[in-house]
Amino acid sequence: MSARRVKPSLYISVDIEADGPIPGPYSMLSLGAAVAGVQDGAGFTAADPEQRSFYRELRPISEDFVPEALAVSGLDRARPAAEGAEPAVALAEFATWVREVSAGAQPVMCGYPASYDWTFLYWYLIRFTGSSPFGHSGCLDMKTLYATKARLPLRAVAKGSMPRALLSRRRHTHHALDDAIEQAELLANLMKWPGAAASPPAPPASSP
């Protein structure tokens, strides 16, 4: 029986800015995405994340918001409320863009950490388009990737603890597109990084 052909994975760095901890009661206000690279049987090939990118600001879906969460993004909530795209339109445009840039490959969302951004992105895709171009599990968490390669407990990981050579030289601005591009460069560096050197095995215990 012939081996099953596996499509390459196209990694898309995604960052969202929201006004609360969960979607539904609270809103995704901006969505940024950038193609980070492609992985196939020959390895990972980085892309210039500025070449293929996506950005939208969205109208809030409720009146509720957490001031501290809103302050992180620096967005004036009145602007997306007045000028932002309808979520159904923005998410349909995003899904179309994902399918176009990932033609011939399987798209994978990646984030740092992915959990927050994926929660909002997947919920919005299903709620407003009925499907996800990433499927239900096509996401990669860069924090977990680093922890595995660095041989560290996940909760011990922070960007400040990473080797500087892995980090993007760009600032983390909390503008969704800026941060998606920055994190695309982080992913490319992590993919190339061989990881922490393995510790030599402990010698066998001597017999009594």
pLDDT, tens digit, 9 for 90 and up, residues 40-84: 989 999 999 999 999 999 999 999 999 998 888 888 888 888 999
Q: Name the amino acid, one letter, at 31.
A: L
Q: Is the predicted pLDDT of residue 199 greater than 70, yes or no? A: no
pLDDT at 169: 87
How large is the average pLDDT for residues 78-91?
A: 94
Asked if residue 109 lies in contact with residue 14, where contact means CB atoms within 8 angstroms, the answer is: yes
Q: Is 174 a catalytic site residue?
A: yes
Asked if residue 151 lies in contact with residue 196, where contact means CB atoms within 8 angstroms, the answer is: yes
Among 30, 33, 38, 29, CA closest to 53: 33
Q: Buried (b) or exposed (e) across 76-89, using 16+ Cβ within 10 A? A: ebeebeeebbebee
pLDDT at 198: 53
Q: Is the predicted pLDDT of residue 2 greater than 50, yes or no? A: no
pLDDT at 193: 95
Which helix H or strand E contains 83, and what residues bound it? helix 78-83
- Stated pTM of the model: 0.90
Residue of 136, 172, 174, 175 marked active site: 174
Count of positions (residues) in the chain: 208
Q: Is the predicted pLDDT of residue 162 greater than 50, yes or no? A: yes
Q: Is the predicted pLDDT of residue 99 greater than 80, yes or no? A: yes
Residue with the bigger pLDDT between 197 and 156: it is 156
Average pLDDT of the chain to the nearest whole number: 91
pLDDT at 5: 72
SS3 13: strand
Q: Is the predicted pLDDT of residue 201 greater than 60, yes or no? A: no
Integer angstrom CA distances of residue 45 from 35, 110, 144, 164: 11, 15, 20, 21
